[in-house]
Amino acid sequence: MKLCRIETPEGVHVGLVTARGIIDAAKAGMPFGMEHVITGVGHGRLRLYGEDESLPVVENPRFANVVERPGKILCVGLNYKKHTEGIHMQLPEHPVLFSKFPDALVPSGAKVSLPAWETSYDYEAELVIVIGMTAWGVSVEEAKKCIFGYTCGNDLSCRSAQMLTSQWLIGKDMPGFGPCGPYIVTADEFDPDEPHAIRSYVNGELRQDGLSTDMIFSCAEIVSFASHYVRLQPGDLIFTGTPSGVALEQREDKRRWIEPGDVIRVEIEGIGTLLTEMTD
């Protein structure tokens, strides 16, 4: 299934994405939230509603966050060989983990502020894992069963702050620096071990063009590794790293950092398109 969360006059509802458009699950008699869907409520009924052509579709949907409020947002750095080499870093022996705070999460279509007191803002198109089951000390095979689905993400970064110390936190955690969405595709319909194109565009210009299969550590390996140090819970998100093409990889005299007014588009084949507008 392909799912989303949409703003309605009655509140935020789960949307089921069909070939005809988005169906409001609440209008179809299923008034529960995404957290219930993630933990297994109503899957069969949602699939049936998706086949019911009598149900109306939502016109001009306004997207909400893909999950209401994740307990944890983890991120993986240096998970694509060409990108790692492009920023002159050593290839990691284990997944490099850092985190974002919950207020980094914003939906597709959101405007994100770039504070004037910092510089060197960058984009990172990423496949994002949505955790569906508690994962604590799980094997790689067990980890696959703990993944509910996948969505698009943009690991926005402030490079000047990121490089101030050996810890990347302050360069990754400004409000709105974790756009995700607009859709979650369930794991039974999206296999990250198959090649899916991951691309980013800034103002319509292609900047990144990679494949999910170019990851150094697979999604299941990432979940397994992380679960030995962090108890993962349903609704948690994991950004899995970015392909080559970010501004940081360019020569200093050629770098084009993102600025207020820029529109960033992240596209992942089989999932959808995430849009983010940068503002002052």
Quote the pLDDT of residue 233: 98
What is the band of 146 on the pLDDT scale with cuts at 50, 70, 90? very high
Domains in the chain, CATH or no CATH each: 2-63 (no CATH), 73-279 (3.90.850.10)
What percent of the chain has a predicted confidence (pLDDT) above 90? Answer: 88
Dihedral sign for Cα 221, 83, 177, 187, please. Answer: negative
In the predicted structure, residue 190 carries a pLDDT above the cut 90: yes
Mean pLDDT of the chain: 95
Residues 167-176, mean pLDDT to the nearest whole number = 96
Which pLDDT score, from 0 to 100, does residue 54 have?
82
